[in-house]
Chain A
């Protein structure tokens, strides 16, 4: 599960309204929790909006809505 070069770009780089597919996670602990919530490799994530006050982001993955911090969104690599 370690970060692999070229396995994708971090979710924070995805623009609002765009969708990416999860390719990898860079932090096992965060990955454990995200996977338990149903964010698995291959899952489509749409960045719906950014939080007020320059915080994290509001994402839609399959049929769940999720609030993530910026540094949490950094650990999700998408293609």
Chain B
């Protein structure tokens, strides 16, 4: 143990999956959480603080749930990695072990392992409210004495026992560190004992059991340097250490130790666990009804996003638009008014407009997760997913991909097989994420009438659903292609616990929604804002002389044709835009995108969208608010009225709009996702492959749509705008 007292005092929160660990963590730390990543990997790292009078603070870290210190997936590995590396910033001073008291006879294996590693452990016996309802009688005091640790009954649901737990944690942090305990429940076998002694000089600060774990996992533990790893593996060789057989021996011995302790101190007064869960599963995991209900649920989720979010989105759009007009009326005309009104505020609108949809989507997804439904979906679709080279757990990633590909790709870490995990990572960005929603919303309104069918579904909602299905189909079909191409990699598991259905703990749901909305606003928002402002500058300034020329040309044309002042103003703005840096870039890319029916203005938005596709609407807003004199018009109305200056044809006619929609369904336009894919796969090869095949597919299908969709009938001289655009 290091000679100094660490500040802050670090506590790792550890437990089995479904032990209610995260609920308890949320209850202890509230909204005072920091979400980041564990160093070097993208497993979400949640930390929170408990601060006490006197200023000493306790830092709690929520480690991924695992059944034992013999991990089968990346996120489980992190637990072993953190607990065997004294140099790790998360190496805890103590462990808060969370066990579901209603399944205590299954939940103590990892507890005894963590205790044998020498950490001071506090046992939180969670779900005390359920235990009471199920008629469990527990002798907490004797249990605590027998297991040799402080134990406290808590409920992450009702908050029972939390104050007592906080008190125990505080007391612990105030005690002088004693150094790791060498007392071990597990009696090492002869070869293990020999090995532990051989490794003592190499790891003087670790307990014998920690050294044994290093030997088990020497092949992959990242904190072992090559020479150290070699020495450990040599020692393993010398002592004749057989890892799998010893793991089984150890597991049996530990169960033999704690099973009698649990039985003596826990009495079931009646026998009726799970009846409700099992009855619900008769329907929800039924061979036919189960999948049908799943698809119905997904349909409801998308209808909810499309219909519920449209109101706050309208308010945000018109609010920003009014604010922009007000700013420009207050500020003296010039570059500042332009930068703020057209650059900054248009970009801000592009950020804020997403929030309702992101919030609704994450709300519904975390609700399904919280009640325990997601594990059922993984169970039902495992076979189908396997046919596509994926894993039942991939369905969780694919569904979360509907919110954002980044957390979805991270969630693939629970998949133990490398090939299945890689394919999940590669195809998840095909699932339409919330950043595509505004693009879909704006464009669908141009081509699909606002009509209700079957009394319930809106036609636009169905078109929206269709685009999602297209993304899902692309994900599955490309998974199939990767399944054929890639070499297989290791063993694949399902072995998934189906937690009992529980009413959702709304605190957990709200914390997730808050966390996701906040990180979107801060992280993606920054990118969008900067790009919008850069775009404004690029669209307002051009090579020296070019802007002047454009102005002069506009004046000349206006004089020749006798245009009204308003018409000549619009002409000048349009010509200047064309002469600007952004216009040059748009013109430069125009030959490539012309076959898709896109003009150079769409080209500008496309270029900007490759940083992040959510920029599209903001970019369009910036471009059109500069080239248009009418400040009060909403972006959708501006785009709907856009005509090609040469042919007089509407720019957003059905073939172009559909081509643009299809392009956005397939194209890889998110730098953050590519960065995460690089981090997850540890090479640039995969993000590069992903970028090329997705964008290639996007281009080809957009081209096919533009080429084969019948052109619209010649527009009647005064085609009425879609009904909802006609109001102002």
Which A residues fall within an 8 A CB radius of B? 1, 28-38, 40, 48-56, 58, 60, 62-69, 72
Quick check: A56 and B248 within 8 Å, CB to CB? no
Residues in B whose Cβ lies below 8 Å from that of A48 = 278, 281
Known: A33-B72, A36-B109. A67 touches B382 (CB 8 A): yes
Quick check: A31 and B287 within 8 Å, CB to CB? no
In the complex formed, the residue of A with least CB distance to B294 is A52
Quick check: A32 and B494 within 8 Å, CB to CB? no
A36 and B67 alpha carbons, distance in the complex (Å): 6
Among B372-380, B419-427, B636-644, the stretch that binds chain A is: B372-380
Which of A29, A37, A58, A62 touches B285 (beta carbons < 8 Å)?
A58
In the complex formed, the residue of A with least CB distance to B109 is A36
Give the top 8 A-B pairs by smallest Cβ distance, nearest first. A55-B383, A38-B106, A67-B379, A36-B68, A36-B67, A65-B498, A28-B244, A53-B383
Q: List 7 A-B contacts (CB under 8 A).
A: A28-B244, A29-B244, A36-B70, A38-B105, A40-B255, A63-B102, A64-B497
Bitwise interface map of B from 149 to 187 toward A, beta carbon under 8 Å scored 1, else 0: 000000000000000000000000000000000000000
A63 and B286 alpha carbons, distance in the complex (Å): 21
CB distance from B18 to the nearest CB of A (A): 9
CB distance from B106 to the nearest CB of A (A): 4
CB distance from A74 to the nearest CB of B (A): 13
Residues in B whose Cβ lies below 8 Å from that of A34 = 495
In the complex formed, the residue of A with least CB distance to B66 is A36
Quick check: A51 and B383 within 8 Å, CB to CB? yes
In the complex formed, the residue of B with least CB distance to A41 is B252
Quick check: A72 and B251 within 8 Å, CB to CB? no
A73 and B255 alpha carbons, distance in the complex (Å): 22
Bitwise interface map of B from 254 to 282 toward A, beta carbon under 8 Å scored 1, else 0: 01000000000000000001100110010
Cβ of B491 under 8 Å from chain A:
yes
CB distance from A72 to the nearest CB of B (A): 6
Quick check: A58 and B379 within 8 Å, CB to CB? yes
Cβ of B245 under 8 Å from chain A:
yes
> Could you say which of A1, A30, A38, A48 has the most chain B C-beta atoms within 10 Å of its C-beta?
A38
How many residues of chain B have a CB within 8 Å of chain A? 47
Quick check: A67 and B495 within 8 Å, CB to CB? yes
Known: A40-B255, A63-B273, A66-B497. A51 touches B379 (CB 8 A): yes
Bitwise interface map of B from 72 to 88 toward A, beta carbon under 8 Å scored 1, else 0: 10000000000000000
Residues in B whose Cβ lies below 8 Å from that of A52 = 285-288, 290-291, 380-381, 383
CB distance from B115 to the nearest CB of A (A): 16
Residues in A whose Cβ lies below 8 Å from that of B106 = 37-38, 62-64
Bitwise interface map of B from 497 to 515 toward A, beta carbon under 8 Å scored 1, else 0: 1111000000000000000
In the complex formed, the residue of A with least CB distance to B249 is A1
Residues in A whose Cβ lies below 8 Å from that of B291 = 52-53
Residues in B whose Cβ lies below 8 Å from that of A33 = 67, 70, 72, 493, 495
Which of A32, A40, A69 touches B244 (beta carbons < 8 Å)?
A32
CB distance from B111 to the nearest CB of A (A): 12
Q: Other than the known A49-B285, A49-B286, what 12 A-B pairs have Cβ atoms closer than 8 Å?
A: A28-B247, A31-B248, A32-B68, A37-B497, A48-B281, A53-B381, A56-B379, A56-B382, A58-B285, A58-B498, A65-B278, A67-B379
Quick check: A68 and B255 within 8 Å, CB to CB? no
Quick check: A1 and B70 within 8 Å, CB to CB? no
Quick check: B383 and A63 within 8 Å, CB to CB? no
Known: A56-B494, A67-B496. A62 touches B383 (CB 8 A): no
CB distance from B388 to the nearest CB of A (A): 12
Residues in B whose Cβ lies below 8 Å from that of A55 = 380, 382-384, 386
Cβ of B103 under 8 Å from chain A:
yes
The SS class assigned to the A binding surface is mixed
A61 and B496 alpha carbons, distance in the complex (Å): 13
CB distance from A30 to the nearest CB of B (A): 7
Known: A36-B251, A38-B105, A56-B494. A65 touches B277 (CB 8 A): yes
Which of A40, A65, A66 touches B252 (beta carbons < 8 Å)?
A40
Which of B70, B103, B247, B384 touches A53 (beta carbons < 8 Å)?
B384
Cβ of B350 under 8 Å from chain A:
no
Cβ of B392 under 8 Å from chain A:
yes
Residues in B whose Cβ lies below 8 Å from that of A28 = 244-245, 247-248
CB distance from B147 to the nearest CB of A (A): 17
A32 and B288 alpha carbons, distance in the complex (Å): 33
A49 and B65 alpha carbons, distance in the complex (Å): 27
Quick check: A35 and B252 within 8 Å, CB to CB? yes
CB distance from B491 to the nearest CB of A (A): 6
Quick check: A58 and B281 within 8 Å, CB to CB? yes
A-facing residues in B78-122 (Cβ within 8 Å): 102-103, 105-106, 109-110
Quick check: B382 and A51 within 8 Å, CB to CB? yes
CB distance from A60 to the nearest CB of B (A): 8
Known: A1-B245, A55-B383, A58-B285. A67 touches B255 (CB 8 A): no
Known: A50-B287, A53-B383, A58-B498. A67 touches B378 (CB 8 A): yes
Known: A37-B67, A72-B495. A32 touches B105 (CB 8 A): no
Residues in B whose Cβ lies below 8 Å from that of A50 = 287
A63 and B110 alpha carbons, distance in the complex (Å): 18
CB distance from B689 to the nearest CB of A (A): 29
Quick check: A35 and B498 within 8 Å, CB to CB? no
CB distance from A67 to the nearest CB of B (A): 4
Bitwise interface map of B from 45 to 87 toward A, beta carbon under 8 Å scored 1, else 0: 0000000000000000000000110101000000000000000
Quick check: B255 and A54 within 8 Å, CB to CB? no
A55 and B281 alpha carbons, distance in the complex (Å): 16
Quick check: A35 and B248 within 8 Å, CB to CB? yes
Residues in A whose Cβ lies below 8 Å from that of B70 = 32-33, 36
A48 and B273 alpha carbons, distance in the complex (Å): 15
Residues in B whose Cβ lies below 8 Å from that of A1 = 245, 248
A66 and B18 alpha carbons, distance in the complex (Å): 13
Quick check: B383 and A54 within 8 Å, CB to CB? yes
A-facing residues in B464-519 (Cβ within 8 Å): 491, 493-500
Which of A30, A40, A49, A63 touches B495 (beta carbons < 8 Å)?
A30
Residues in A whose Cβ lies below 8 Å from that of B498 = 58, 65-67
Quick check: B252 and A63 within 8 Å, CB to CB? no
A40 and B110 alpha carbons, distance in the complex (Å): 15
In the complex formed, the residue of A with least CB distance to B17 is A37
A53 and B106 alpha carbons, distance in the complex (Å): 31
CB distance from A77 to the nearest CB of B (A): 15
Which of A30, A32, A51, A64 touches B380 (beta carbons < 8 Å)?
A51
Quick check: B287 and A69 within 8 Å, CB to CB? no
CB distance from B501 to the nearest CB of A (A): 10
A38 and B497 alpha carbons, distance in the complex (Å): 11
A14 and B392 alpha carbons, distance in the complex (Å): 23
Quick check: A30 and B392 within 8 Å, CB to CB? no
